Amino acid sequence: MDTTIQVSKNLQKELLKRKFFNKETYEEVIWDLIEDNQELSEQTKKEIAQSRAEYKAGKTHTLAKIKKEMAK
Going by pLDDT thresholds of 50, 70 and 90, the confidence category of residue 22 is: very high
pLDDT of the residue at 53: 96
Q: Is 30:15 a contact under the CB 8 Å cutoff?
A: yes
Question: Are the C-beta atoms of residues 29 and 19 closer than 8 Å to each other?
Answer: yes
> pLDDT tens for residues 58-68?
999 999 999 99
Buried b (16+ CB within 10 A) or exposed e, 43-68: eeeeeeeeeeeeeeeeeeeeeeeeee
Label residue 38 exposed, middle or buried (CB < 10 Å: 0-12, 13-18, 19+): exposed
Asked if residue 72 has pLDDT above 90, the reply is no
